[in-house]
Amino acid sequence: MTRIGCTGKILPIMLAAILVSGLLSPIASITTAQIQRDINLTIMLEKVRSAVVLIVTIVKAAIIWEDFIPQLREVGLDPVVEVSATGFGSGFFVSSDGYIITNGHVINDFQSELDKVRPLLLNFIEKYLEARIKRTGQQPSQEEVRQLFMDIIRAYLTNKLKIQDYTVDVRVGAGRVVSGFANIGKFYTARIAYSSPFEKEDLALLKIEIKNAPSIRVAQENIARVGERVWALGYPGVVTFHQLLSEETLLEPTITEGTVSGYRTKTAGVSVLQSDVTVTHGNSGGPVVNSNGIVVAVTSFGSADPSESGREVPGFNFFVPASYVYDIIRRFSVNNVESETIKFYEEGLRLFYQKQYRAAIERFQIVKNLYPGFPFIDDYITDAQKAILRGEEAPQFPIDTTMIAIIAVGAAAGGGAGYMFLRRRKEVVGRTKEQQGQWQYGQQWGYQQPQQPQQQPSPAQTPWQSPGPQQPPRLPPGYKFCINCGKIIPEDSAKCPYCNADQQ
């Protein structure tokens, strides 16, 4: 064999090896892996964000302070003063049928009776001073306001001031809701199923009437470890009430990141998780999740400067560990699973980031059908439609680098191996989920009538052929396939909302 002859056979193999090494180089692999990690993190946070809700608590009562009645009459107020206070916090769905976890203090649950009524006493002072300014035109001094506050606290503690008709009204802003407290009447009314005060576990379980809510899972034990990355989600007041933000932004949860510092113990003997993740007023009751999107804690309280300033000390925040949360879920037999709505949303997100936009839109539409108020879903549908119009949609089954590499090697060896790989690859595409071992996100949702089972020939007689069509996708509860176009539609639909075909 001549040297030229050796080169003639080796050169294609060398070129194939160079091609393979270029495609599968460490730099390319690391970049691809990093991109995938970033996408996975984005999808995880989007899923959790959809489960976060805004909690609004309205406390009302009537105050009778007999010793102060003359002053009330002087400014034109009745002896019985109607007072109210509104607070807000965060929460999250733990079941698809409307169970929500938040803090006890978010719904005004304190062991201290004074802490419960303090906002109402402040509202009493506010009403009195507003009426006095309107009557006399004179502004009170800071010392006068401070003295009035001390007097009303003393009157309450000595039973000279009575509070009657005390009520707590809890509202939940879930899904795509109209921003602003002027629209609070459109929020869901919540029933308080359970509550523990701030001084203890500081947890509450609420219930609203809803179906197919986007619920997330809570860890059954305290699985968060020191140094682990965690993310807190909620509605911090500095964002929610910022006058410069648009109305749409106001009801979007904020996401912050930090690390677990350790576990501490409150004076009541209750364990708390400490972290430097940034939270503030309004975050209370929101979830803290790990990289898998599992709730490992619930935001509870921060640290304040012990001096008279009382300013918040950043980086020293405390959270209710998951074990306390799951104990409540277990006691009340709450079905804490990742809801079907969330699962379809994740499928849509993965298809979206794979640039399978038409398939993604179908999943997003299923999510809207299941839960019409699902937040952020319209934005993704719009973005996907724009991407399709720009011609950015990827092929349904893109060829990955591993496949290209094997084809290249096959071509160098004479083409036979590459041909066999493509043919086997084509066969795999037609297999069912059970045959492939995992669901392929690139698959479409259009219904195909499954073939009737056929008698299988013996191995010696088995011909080389592609298997039959895929089985139809799983249906969410309360839905069916359109008999004309095959899309998933509500079970009680007389006409298909997509093709307008009668379903009789």
The answer as to whether 292 is a domain residue is yes
The pLDDT, as a whole number, for residue 6 is 44
The answer as to whether 355 is a domain residue is no
The pLDDT, as a whole number, for residue 502 is 82
3-state secondary structure of 502: strand
As a whole number of angstroms, the distance between CA 475 and CA 194 comes to 34
The pLDDT, as a whole number, for residue 492 is 74
What domain range includes position 248? 47-331
Which CATH number do you get for residue 191?
A: 2.40.10.120
Residues linked to residue 347 through DSSP beta bridges, in sequence order: none
The answer as to whether 491 is a domain residue is no
The pLDDT, as a whole number, for residue 36 is 78
The answer as to whether 230 is a domain residue is yes
The pLDDT, as a whole number, for residue 47 is 95
The answer as to whether 464 is a domain residue is no
The answer as to whether 96 is a domain residue is yes
> Residue 236: exposed, middle, or buried by beta-carbon count in 10 A (0-12, 13-18, 19+)?
buried
The answer as to whether 207 is a domain residue is yes
The pLDDT, as a whole number, for residue 410 is 45
pLDDT mean by block of 10 residues, the chain; 504 residues = 41 40 45 80 95 93 96 95 92 97 94 93 96 92 94 96 96 71 76 94 96 96 94 81 52 88 87 89 92 95 60 74 96 96 96 94 94 89 95 71 44 39 37 37 33 41 37 62 72 73 79
As a whole number of angstroms, the distance between CA 38 and CA 35 comes to 5
DSSP string spanning 94-131? SSTTSEEEE-TGGGT--SSHHHHHHHHHHHHHHHHHHH
How would you label 97-122 residue by residue, b for 16+ Cβ within 10 Å and e otherwise? bbbbbbbbbbbbbbeeeeebbbbbbe
**Which residues are CB-contacts of 225 (< 8 A; sequence separation ≥ 6)?**
260
Q: How many domains does the chain have?
A: 1
As a whole number of angstroms, the distance between CA 108 and CA 119 comes to 10
The pLDDT, as a whole number, for residue 207 is 98
Which segments of 215-338 are extended strands (E)? 229-234, 254-265, 271-275, 287-289, 295-304, 312-321
Strand order in the sheet with 80-93: 188-189, 161-173, 52-65, 80-93, 99-102, 204-207, 191-195
As a whole number of angstroms, the distance between CA 16 and CA 203 comes to 62
User: Of all helices (H) and strands (E), which one includes residue 368?
Assistant: helix 357-370
Q: pTM score, two decimals?
A: 0.72
The pLDDT, as a whole number, for residue 78 is 95
The pLDDT, as a whole number, for residue 388 is 94
The answer as to whether 389 is a domain residue is no
The pLDDT, as a whole number, for residue 476 is 67
